[in-house]
Amino acid sequence: MLNYFSRKERLIAFLLVAIVLIYIGWRSISSPEQAMQFGFNGLSVGAVYALMAIGFTLVYSTVWFFDLYYGAAAALGAYGVFYLRSQEWLGGQYQVNTPVVNIILALVVAGVAAWVLHAILYSRLRERVDPTTLRIVGGLLAIALGAYTGLVLTFPSHLHVTFGPVAALIVGVAAIWGLRLLFERLNGGRGHLAFQAIAVLIGAALAIYIGIFLVNSPGSKLYLSWAVSCLIAGTVGLALYRGLYVRMRQRSRSPLIMLVASLGILLALTACISIVFQSAPRPLPDPFGSVPWTIGGANIKGFNFFAIGVAIVGFLALLSVLKWTSFGRAVRAIGDDEEVARVVGINTTVIIAIVFFVGAAFAAMAGILSGHDTAIQPRMGLLLMLKGWIASVVGGIGNLYGAILGGFMLGLIEQFAIWDLAGEWKDVVAFGLLILFLSFWPRGLLPRK
């Protein structure tokens, strides 16, 4: 990991690490309960940073520019939960659900669905089916998805009924796909009909069970709002890519122009959130595990364990997809050379669109986890975006392993650094760490090979 450092840089690195470890060791011996508290707080905050860094890294390693929209995606995720749950949770005292927002989001979903159906189905079926028929069917399906989105957003108190079956279907399809991938790996890359049938049966049974459970569980609405918010944020990210970034990438090859454009999107969406929700901080409903546990003298919430688990599972799932699937091979090929990938037949526009969707969904989940831990406010996405970027730099820009390492490391360093300081020093420490790494180790701890 340190092979690319000069001798002087290695010495500085070892001295800094030694100082940090000595300080942490000394404080841990003097107050082990407080050390455990700071350590766990650092891991739970680091999980949020890691999710942001994973989204950043996925997009950067594919198209080689930082999409600052992910800050807005984090805020959209958190405010999406508030949008869907505020009326019921606050007893109708705060009515934020408005038809204008519902219509805009429904139109965005319909437009994205129309493009996805055209990009995937039209290119494959146009030689066997009349193109006009394909366009009509695709348009009707897109309109139906847009109308369904408007229905879900308009009646959030019935989310377990309107979205529960769809969530179950998504889980079932993911289970079938994951089991087929696992069976192929165990069978040397060959798919066996019996294994595929088993995967379909297990996935279908799981989808039916979860669908029935969710429909009969009104208490699941909060957790379903997480999924809806992540899907909305991902769809907006895909729409921005298809409607703006593709055109800009074709007309200008400068990453700086893309960076400035994404900054404008971040600021514009932040202003829109302030208009719709007002600028006052808002709390989110208490999730499961909100009552703290006492472990080794430290007060630890079960939800924070969940946040750490989400970051780890999300990292492992994405890593598996990128390593073991044709989609992952296409992503790596585009990251190495997009022009060559296009020449060999990879639909780079569709692959990159999926990457933008997934990255924005990761950012939205980070915003949701952060929002349940602290109050949400319109500018929260800007700070989370910066922390995710710092985590990416620390871990190694473009390296997925470095993203999760940098996220957890940044969280731990922030928490232990304020042991003898006020909490306001966290941001100073974080940006000081960024300057340190950019000065001495700009490629991060795990540089991309």
**DSSP string computed for 263-314:** HHHHHHHHHHHHHHH-SS-BPPPP-TT-SEEEETTEEEEHHHHHHHHHHHHH
CA-based nearest residue to 219, from 157, 148, 303? 157
Average pLDDT score over residue span 87-97: 62
pLDDT of residue 1: 46
Average pLDDT score over residue span 198-208: 90
pLDDT of residue 10: 66
- pLDDT above 70 covers a percentage of the chain that reads 92
The distance in angstroms from the start CA to the end CA of the chain is: 11
pTM over the 0.75 mark? yes
CA-based nearest residue to 411, from 429, 385, 397, 437? 429
Phi, psi at residue 215, to the nearest 5°? Answer: -60, -35
- DSSP per-residue letters across 382-422: HHHHHHHHHHHHHH-TT-HHHHHHHHHHHHHHHHHHTSSS-
pLDDT tens, 138-153? 889 999 999 999 999 9
Written as six digits, the tokens of 196 are 């595929």
Report the alpha-carbon angle 241-365-38, nearest 5.
Answer: 135
CA-based nearest residue to 357, from 383, 321, 333? 321
Q: Which one is predicted more confidently, 250 or 410?
A: 410
Phi, psi at residue 38, to the nearest 5°? Answer: -65, -40
Q: How buried is 399 (Cβ within 10 angstroms: 0-12 exposed, 13-18 middle, 19+ buried)? A: buried
CA distances from 275 to 106, 156, 258, 279 (A): 19, 21, 26, 8
Per-domain residue ranges for the chain?
65-280+303-394
Written as six digits, the tokens of 267 are 């600021």
Question: Which pLDDT band holds residue 13 (cuts at 50, 70, 90)?
Answer: low
Q: Is 79 within 8 Å of 277 (Cβ atoms)?
A: yes
Average pLDDT score over residue span 46-73: 90
Report the alpha-carbon angle 104-107-108, nearest 5.
Answer: 85
Amino acid identity of 186?
Answer: L
- DSSP per-residue letters across 130-166: -HHHHHHHHHHHHHHHHHHHHHHHH-GGGHHHHTHHH
Question: Which pLDDT band holds residue 188 (cuts at 50, 70, 90)?
Answer: low
Is the C-alpha dihedral spanning 54, 277, 86, 373 positive or negative?
positive
Taking the C-alpha atoms of residue 32 and residue 295, their distance in angstroms, rounded to an integer, is 12
CA-based nearest residue to 400, from 333, 319, 296, 323? 319
**pLDDT of 91 above 60:** no
Measured in residues, the chain has a length of 449
pLDDT tens, 307-331? 999 999 999 999 988 888 888 899 9
For the chain, give the mean pLDDT.
85
pLDDT of residue 316: 93
pLDDT of residue 2: 46
Alpha carbon of residue 41 to chain centroid: 21
CA-based nearest residue to 204, from 234, 173, 158? 173
Question: Which pLDDT band holds residue 15 (cuts at 50, 70, 90)?
Answer: confident
Amino acid identity of 42?
Answer: G
- pLDDT above 90 covers a percentage of the chain that reads 36
pLDDT of residue 191: 57
pLDDT of residue 118: 81
Written as six digits, the tokens of 195 are 């294994």
Q: How buried is 309 (Cβ within 10 angstroms: 0-12 exposed, 13-18 middle, 19+ buried)? A: exposed
